[in-house]
Chain A
Amino acid sequence: MGTMANAESYILAIGTKKGLWLAHSTDRKEWSLNGPHFLMSEIPSIGIDTRGDSPRIMVGVRSEHWGPTVAHSDDLGATWTEPDQGAISFPKDTEAALERVWQIYPDAESRPGVVWAGCEPISVWKSTDGGEHFELNRGLWDHPHRSEWGAGYGGAAAHSIVVDPSGEKVHIAMSTGGVYRSLDGGASWEARNKGISAYFMPDPNPEFGQCVHKIAADAAVDGRLYAQNHHGVYRTDDGGENWESIAEGLPADFGFVMLTHPRRSGTAWVVPLKADGERIPPDARLAVHRTDDAGGTWKRLETGLPDHEYNAVLRDAAAVDTAEPVGVYFGTRGGEVYASADEGESFTEVVSHLPDVLCVRAAVVSGAAVPAGAASA
């Protein structure tokens, strides 16, 4: 039996339009909260790296006044470090400037120190030193499609990065541009959008130009990914060569979130919104939907969620942890955050009335690891 100090507990990092909050729980039902960190700066991306001796929290920070940066904490938010020259900085020859860090993705356990980032303007970056310094991926930056990539409503960004266990096969998604795949660890990239609709373009089935909102990899089946598109929910079983709709059974095919189970193949979660033109939960009833058969059927999950909700859930404002059973977390643009300790079967409210939630990430940590100054919200 482990002692209390060795028992597992849970960290939930909540990035909002006006700062970061850190929540801590021992049971994923009762949460203590501390924050705000980075008050008045938005936190659009969070990565919690649990591969080392102690968890490292990395955050994309963006001030309207003072610009974007990346900071990290190795003591659960007690102190934050920002590299002098900036962890992500465009090389001079690109004549580009970082606008926002949309994604911070710690790579596999087998590749300690490797962290990927997806940014605006559309770019992918890779760090080999735990997120303190990132190198621009030149293969994507110099891609011949670049001039035709567009901006979604939130900006033009690479927002999803999925790396397979080998490290060679990398899928990214960008809005707008769609899914791109590399088979050589990121050296070169090809569009992989066959079957994904771009109904808003003159040719609704272009090679690229899709507005893929989020992609996530299946836990076990090689080459299987899921995508929440700007209208459309899809699965591929061949690494993106072909995508097929798995939207049947959902109340709407619009939304931003796509989550997958860390270990169980076939399980994914989405949070449907009514439509592009009505970005609210269908019938103003907030619900998470889970499939356990790779999109064949969907189960509506709403226990513990409010009777009505008119706010959207953004693409990175949802996450899973790695516990058993898996925890599911999400936040709304209305500043509510919910947690489920049972894969979405039931939710409890973590906190309400925060600023718009842009990003949440959860991790299982040692019981001794409690965010500094944690106090009840």
Chain B
Amino acid sequence: MPDITVVLPSILQPLAGGQSVLTAPAGRAVTVDALLDAVTGDYPVLARRLRDETGALRRYVNIYVSGEEIRRLKGLETEVAAGQEVLIIQSVAGG
């Protein structure tokens, strides 16, 4: 069964022990919410960079599942299947 891969932007990689890609085993489809729980379980600071303490995705954090931004799908409830790639990218914001 292929894993689900989560690709981190370089700025967050130090918070994941220097890894650029985190993987989660995918026996079945999981939500992005559950996927983030799984891959950031060992990296609590990384987890807080992505979602606030209510569990909401931070406003300028974009997550793409197979190229689609999840806010255009079902948000954190978007399902990810084995073999799919999830990209975390900071949005273009600020000045």
Q: Which residues of A contact B (CB under 8 A)?
A: 40, 63-67, 69, 82, 84-86, 89-90, 92, 95-98
Contacts and interface: CB of A to CB of B under 8 A. Distances in A.
Interface string B64-95: 00000000000000000000000000110110
B49 A67 contact: yes
Interface residues of B, number: 17
Nearest to A40: B94
Contacts, number: 47
Interface string B48-75: 1110111010101100000000000000
Interface of B: 12, 44-45, 48-50, 52-54, 56, 58, 60-61, 90-91, 93-94
A65 B44 contact: no
Q: Is the interface of A mostly helix, strand, loop or mixed?
A: loop
B83 to A, nearest CB: 28
Nearest to A91: B53
Given A82-B45, A89-B53, A97-B52, A66 B94 contact: no
A66 B49 contact: yes
The residue in A65, A67, A96 that gathers the most chain B C-beta atoms within 10 A of its C-beta is A65
Contact of A65 (B45, B53, B56, B61): B61
Nearest 5 A/B pairs, CB to CB: A97-B52, A66-B49, A84-B44, A65-B90, A64-B94
A64 B45 contact: no
10 contacts: A40-B94, A64-B94, A65-B93, A66-B90, A67-B49, A89-B53, A90-B53, A92-B54, A95-B54, A96-B53
A97 B53 contact: yes
B69 to A, nearest CB: 15
B44 A85 contact: yes
A11 to B, nearest CB: 26
A73 to B, nearest CB: 16
B48 A67 contact: yes
B94 to A, nearest CB: 5
